[in-house]
Structure 1
Amino acid sequence: MSAQNTKPDHLVLLVATRKGAWLYHGDAARQSWRVDGPHFLGHIINHLVLDPRDGRTLLAAAKAGHLGPTIFRSTDLGQSWQEAAKPPAFGPAANGLAARSVDHTFWLAPGHAAEPGVWYAGTSPQGLFRSTDGGMNWAPFSCINDDPQYRQWFGTVQDGTPDGPKLHSIIVDPHDAQHLYFAMSGGGVHESRDGGQSFVPLVDGMDVVEGFDPTDISFHDPHCVRLCPSNPDRLYQQNHCGIYRLDRPGSIWVRIGRNLPTEVGDIGFPLVLHPRDDRTAWVFPMDGTEVWPRTSPGGRPAVYATRDGGSSWQRHDAGLPASQAWWTVKRQAMTADRQDSIGLYFGTTSGELWHSLDEGRQWSCLARHLPEIYAVETAYPG
C-alpha cells in the first residue's frame, strides 16, 4: 500500500511544550503561517495529536499542577476543550506487585482506521492504556501493566530517563488492527499479533550499553520506533545504541547508523520516515558521548537523511546555525507532512520551531522563544 501525496488547503503544526501548546496554521504553499496559542499556558503538554480518521478530534496529553496528569479533547481545533472523564490511571495493585500511579501520559496514538474512536496511550511510569470513545474514558490495556515479568523489565521510576521512563512508539499496523508494537525507554520493543492479548519482545540484533547483558530486556533502550507508511513490513528504530532497520517477517534488527560520520555518531532521539518511500528517513543526531550532554555534536546542528535504507547518509544543515547552537531535538519533536515535496519540521529544547520545504536540504526558523518543545505533529483538519 502506498501513502498518497496531497496538496491540502490547510496544514496545522501541533506544537506541545513544557509550558503549553501552540497551533501553527499554514496555507497550501506552506509559506504563510498563523499562530494560535498558547493553549494550557503553564501546563506541561507532552503530546498533541489530531485523529486522521475524522480530521477533527484533537487530544492533548497534559500534566497540570492542580489537576495532575490528564487528557484534554477538542473537536473544533482547540477553540474549546473538554477534560477526559477518566484519564489513564493504574488499577489497584495486583499479583503481589507494588501499587503505581501515573505521573504523566507521554504518547498518544490513534487506533486502526477500522476502529473509529479507539486510541492508545503510553505513560510514565510505563503503562499501556486504551480508549474506545475518542479519548474520554481510558482503561489499562493488555496484561503488561501488572505482569510480573514486564514489571521487572520496566525497572523503577528512578531508572535513567529524565522525567521518568516512558512507554512510547505505539504503532498499529495499517493492514491489521490486531498487529501492534510499542517501545519502552528501558524495556525494549514489543509486538502483539493478537490485538494486545499478549506481547513478545522484539530486540534481536540490538546492542546495549557496554558491560550490560543484552539478554536482559530491561537494558534495551529504544528512543523512537517508526513503521513505514508505504511499507508496513519495514520498521526503523533510533536507539540509545544507534540507528536500526527491521524488515519483516525477519526479527533481527540491523544497525544502519554506523554509516554516519564517526565524529557525529548515530545517537539521537527523533526519527522521521518518508510517507511514500520506505528507503528514505531522517534523523537528528546529538552528542551522546561520556556524560551525554544531549546537545548538537560540536554545537553544529544538522539533519541527516538516507535515501537508500541506511546504506548512506547525507548531512543537511543549510540555514541552521553554523556554530554555538547547543540544543537538540526530543523524540516526538520532529515530523513530516505528506505533500509532493515533503516538508520537515522540528522543535528544539531551546524553543525554536524550524521547517524545510525541500525534504531537509534548506531550513528556516518558523518561531522562536517558545518554551522547551516536547512534540511536533502535522495535522490535516477534515
Structure 2
Amino acid sequence: MTTSPETGPIMLLVATTKGAWTLTSDAGRSHWQVAGPTFLGHTIHHIVQDPREPSRMLMAARTGHLGPTVFRSADRGRNWTEATRPPAFDKVPEGETGRVVDHVFWLTPGHASEPGAWYAGTSPQGLFRSTDHGASWEPVSGFNDNPMWRNWTGGEQDGTPDGPKMHSVLVDPRDKRHLYIGMSSGGVFESTDAGANWQPLNRGSLANFLPDPNPEYGQDPHCVLQHPANPDILYQQNHCGIYRMDRREGVWKRIGEAMPAEVGDIGFPIVAHPRDARTVWVFPMDGSDVWPRVSPGGHPAAYVTRDAGETWQRQDRGLPPEQGWFTVKRQAMATDSHGPVGVYFGTTGGEIWASADEGEHWRCIASHLPQVYAVSVARPA
C-alpha cells in the first residue's frame, strides 16, 4: 500500500462551531492564506474532499433553519447546495416515538470503485449511505434497524457529552463490502457484507467506566483508523487508552501504556503517517476524574510513535510552553501525504497549528477562529 510522497500546495478544510474556513498553502507549505467564513453562525462538524473527484466536497452541518443536513459542492467549495434528502431515520407509525437525527457528525467517501458513494455517521448513532454524491441519503438498515441497536448504542441518551455519536466510518480499500464503525459510546463494529450484518470488534479494549471493564460492546472509542500503509492494522484513541490491532489476530493491544505517566494516554484524535504503518500521532488531554478536556498541566504537545507504540516521543517545539489550556477534538487533527509529512491540528481555542516536518516543529497558522471541530486535508485546484 506504499505510495510516493506528494508535492505542491495543500488546503485545510476547517469546521468550527460557527462556520467553515479554508487555509491554502504555497508549494512549500510555508505561507498560508485564510479564507472564510462559509455558513457563518452554523455548526459545521466535518468537511471532506472526495479523493475520487477532488472538485467535489461534502459538509456536515447543523443550521438554525434547516437543522441537521449535508451540503455538497462540485467546485471545491466555492458554491454549496443542500442535500435534497439528508440523513434521517425511518419514520415510525403514528403514536410511536422514533429516533431523530440531532446532527450529522462524520462523512466518509465510499470505495474507489464506487464513484458517488458516501457514508455518514450521526448522533444518535446511525449509519447512512448516498450513491449520488451526497444529494440523497438512505439508512443502512442492517445497522439502524438491527434488533441489537439499543443494546449496542445505549439508546438515544447514553450520557455522552454533546450526544452519542457514530464516527470513524472506514471502508477497506481492498474490499468495498468490508466496513468498520466507531461509536461513542458502543465500541468498534465490523461488517463484511456492506453493512447488512455487524459484529462487535472490541476484544482487548477496556471500558473501565462500566461494572464489567471487558464487555463485548459498550466501549467508548474516540477515533479509529485503518492505517493507509497497511489496511490490516487498526489504531484507536479510546476513552480508556491508545490501542493497536492486527486484524488478522483480532485483539486490541493497549500501546498507550508506554506514554509518560504524568501525561497518560487519553485524548480524542489519532492520525497516521501515509506510508509507514508503525507511525501515528496523538494529542493527549487531561483524563483525570473531572475530565477538564485541556492539555495535561496546560503544557500542550503531540506525541508520535514510530515503532507501533513501543515508544512515544513528545513534540512540543513551537507550542505554548505553559498556560496552554486547550484540547483537540477527534476530527481536528490530520496529516498530508507530502515528504516530510505535514501534521495539522485545530484547537478548542480556535487556533490552527501546522508542522511541515512530521511534528518536530509547530507554528500557529490561524488564530481567533471559533472552536474547531474538524480539520481535513484537501488538494486545491
Structures share a fold, TM > 0.5?
Answer: yes
Q: Distance in 2 between matches of 1:140 and 1:215?
A: 30
Q: Which residue of 1 aligns with 2:41?
A: 42
**1:62-141 alignment runs, 5 A limit:** 62-93=61-92, 98-141=97-140
Q: Contact conserved, 1:187 with 1:217, CA < 8 A, in 2?
A: no
- Ranges in structure 1 where 5+ consecutive residues have no aligned partner: none
| Structure 1 residue 147 displacement after superposition | 1.7
- Ranges in structure 2 where 5+ consecutive residues have no aligned partner: none
Amino acid at match of 2:243: Y
| Structure 1 residue 92 displacement after superposition | 2.0
| Structure 1 residue 23 displacement after superposition | 0.8
Amino acid at match of 2:269: P
Q: Distance in 2 between matches of 1:308 and 1:130?
A: 36
CA gap of 1:211–1:101, structure 2 versus 1, over 3 A, is closer
Q: Distance in 1 between matches of 2:189 and 2:376?
A: 24
Q: Which residue of 1 aligns with 2:50?
A: 51
Q: Distance in 1 between matches of 2:224 and 2:106?
A: 12
Q: Distance in 2 between matches of 1:97 and 1:217?
A: 30
Q: Which residue of 1 aligns with 2:232?
A: 233
Identity of aligned residues (%): 59
Q: Which residue of 1 aligns with 2:212?
A: 213
Q: Which residue of 2 aligns with 1:267?
A: 266
Which sits farther off after the overlay, 355-364 or 153-162? 153-162
Amino acid at match of 1:7: T
CA gap of 1:210–1:50, structure 2 versus 1, over 3 A, is closer
TM-score (norm 1): 0.97
Q: Contact conserved, 2:207 with 2:215, CA < 8 A, in 1?
A: no
Q: Contact conserved, 2:62 with 2:69, CA < 8 A, in 1?
A: yes
| Structure 1 residue 22 displacement after superposition | 0.3
Q: Which residue of 1 aligns with 2:7?
A: 7
Amino acid at match of 1:2: T
| Structure 1 residue 223 displacement after superposition | 0.5
Deviations 1:309-346 (A, max 9, x none): 00000000000001111100000000000001000000
Amino acid at match of 1:141: V
Q: Contact conserved, 1:213 with 1:219, CA < 8 A, in 2?
A: no
| Structure 1 residue 26 displacement after superposition | 1.1
Amino acid at match of 2:92: A
Q: Distance in 2 between matches of 1:246 and 1:118?
A: 27
Q: Distance in 1 between matches of 2:280 and 2:182?
A: 19
Q: Distance in 2 between matches of 1:374 and 1:322?
A: 24
Q: Which residue of 2 aligns with 1:353?
A: 352
CA gap of 1:215–1:241, structure 2 versus 1, over 3 A, is closer
Q: Contact conserved, 1:142 with 1:198, CA < 8 A, in 2?
A: no
In the alignment, is residue 186 of structure 1 matched against residue 185 of structure 2? yes
Q: Contact conserved, 1:97 with 1:146, CA < 8 A, in 2?
A: no
Q: Contact conserved, 2:143 with 2:196, CA < 8 A, in 1?
A: no
Q: Contact conserved, 2:71 with 2:82, CA < 8 A, in 1?
A: yes
Q: Distance in 2 between matches of 1:4 and 1:172?
A: 22
CA gap of 1:97–1:144, structure 2 versus 1, over 3 A, is farther
The alignment partner of 1:184 has SS state of strand
Q: Distance in 1 between matches of 2:36 and 2:264?
A: 37
Query: Cα RMSD (Å) of the superposition?
Result: 1.4
| Structure 1 residue 148 displacement after superposition | 2.5
In the alignment, is residue 308 of structure 1 matched against residue 283 of structure 2? no
Q: Which residue of 2 aligns with 1:292?
A: 291
| Structure 1 residue 215 displacement after superposition | 5.1
Q: Contact conserved, 1:212 with 1:219, CA < 8 A, in 2?
A: no
Which sits farther off after the overlay, 142-151 or 161-170? 142-151
Q: Which residue of 2 aligns with 1:157?
A: 156
Amino acid at match of 1:139: E
Q: Distance in 1 between matches of 2:322 and 2:155?
A: 38
Q: Which residue of 1 aligns with 2:329?
A: 330
Q: Distance in 1 between matches of 2:244 and 2:234?
A: 6
Q: Which residue of 1 aligns with 2:147?
A: 148
Q: Which residue of 2 aligns with 1:18?
A: 17
Q: Distance in 2 between matches of 1:287 and 1:50?
A: 32
Q: Distance in 1 between matches of 2:289 and 2:355?
A: 32
